Amino acid sequence: MALLQKKILVFQSDFGLSDGAVSAMYGVAHEVDLNLKIYNLTHNIVPYNIWEASYRLFQAVEFWPKSTVFVSVVDPGVGTNRKSVVALTKNGHYIVTPDNGTLTHLKRFVGIVAIREIQESKHRRDNTQYSYTFHGRDVYANTGAKLASGEITFEEVGEELSVEKVVELEIGKVIIGEKSIKGCIDILDVRFGSLWTNIERSHFSSLGFQFGDKIEVVIRNGPTLIYNNRVSYGKSFGDVYVSEQIIYVNSLYRMALAINQGNFAKAYSVGTGIHWTIEFIKID
């Protein structure tokens, strides 16, 4: 795709919208090119939660046109020696971000074909070399806008790095047994409190589960049992009554658990992470 066609810039951060941080990044991008089309992925990442930043990129990136540039700033190590990079995914999207684990899901489930370290002496805003705590504005927004506008090419970002050495967060394992499958609760569908697991639909289906089945569900926080019940497997929330629980396939083709018109996470005080395990067991 020609450089002149790359005009889309998408921002993600944990900054929220209650102050001027996001607006400042917009302004920097428009200083580079007033014709850039700027959008938000989200600015409501839980503060410092690199895992969530990684997952939300995985959730959204593939649905944007090839050559879209994403700037993701969840950066608790800002100003330290962590690297500032631009990654190119297998599907042709660019991710401007600190190399702190934010690329974990894209590397694992989409593929990263190249990564370059941002040469800050060339690509940060002028006269910001003594500012150490707002790289989202001074480095990432500026570099992302230059790349999206065609002012620079990917090759001009900086030195190429090894994709194999990208910082990755630990991802929970999926264990398939004869009559059960066990994984982790990766993240919440935040507004509705549904539990999104790391268990792919294909692996779940390999055990012979069918729509309409009652399936035993066991949730643990480490060794502590949090939930144990039999739940219906349905195509959509309409397959169960309001307030009834349901197992379903989410929009990323992974297994999820919800309460129809309720909030499962709040109802049972369920969290996320590799220590939060969920097991689906076939009932004879």
Residue type, 190: V
Q: How far apart are CA 21 and CA 134, in angstroms?
A: 9
Q: Which residues contact 88 (CB under 8 A, 6 or more apart)?
A: 94, 112, 113, 114, 115, 154
265-271 LR contacts (CB < 8 Å, sep 24+): 265/188, 265/193, 265/194, 265/195, 266/193, 267/193, 268/219, 268/226, 268/227, 269/226, 270/185, 270/195, 270/219, 270/221, 270/226, 270/227, 271/185, 271/221
pTM: 0.91
Q: How far apart are CA 27 and CA 89, in angstroms?
A: 27
Q: Is 239 left (phi over 0), alpha (psi -120 to 50) or beta?
A: alpha
3 band by pLDDT with thresholds 50, 70 and 90: very low
Mark which of 109, 140, 165 sits at the end of a domain: 165
Whether residue 185 is found in the same domain as residue 156:
no
**Count: domains in the chain:** 2
Q: What is the CATH number of the domain that holds 71?
A: 3.40.50.10790
Question: What's CA 256's distance to the chain center, in Å?
Answer: 16
**pLDDT above 70 (res 4):** no
pLDDT of residue 239: 95
Residue 247's H or E segment, with its range, is strand 245-249
Mark which of 140, 165, 190 sits at the end of a domain: 165
> What are the pLDDT digits (tens) for 183-225?
999 999 989 999 999 999 999 999 999 999 999 999 999 999 9
261 band by pLDDT with thresholds 50, 70 and 90: very high
162 band by pLDDT with thresholds 50, 70 and 90: very high
Q: How far apart are CA 6 and CA 1, in angstroms?
A: 8
Whether residue 59 is found in the same domain as residue 13:
yes
CA-closest candidate to residue 268, choices 229, 226, 217: 226
Q: How far apart are CA 31 and CA 12, in angstroms?
A: 19
Whether residue 156 is found in the same domain as residue 29:
yes
Range of 210's domain? 175-282
Give the neighbor-by-neighbor strand order of the sheet with 160-161: 37-42, 8-13, 69-73, 94-98, 84-89, 112-117, 160-161
Whether residue 135 is found in the same domain as residue 182:
no
Q: What is the CATH number of the domain that holds 194?
A: 2.40.30.90
Q: How far apart are CA 17 and CA 203, in angstroms?
A: 39
Asked, for residue 170, whether it belongs to a domain, the answer is: no
Whether residue 34 is found in the same domain as residue 122:
yes
Whether residue 203 is found in the same domain as residue 226:
yes
pLDDT of residue 2: 40
Q: Which tokens belong to 263?
A: 């909030």
Q: Is 275 left (phi over 0), alpha (psi -120 to 50) or beta?
A: alpha
133 band by pLDDT with thresholds 50, 70 and 90: low
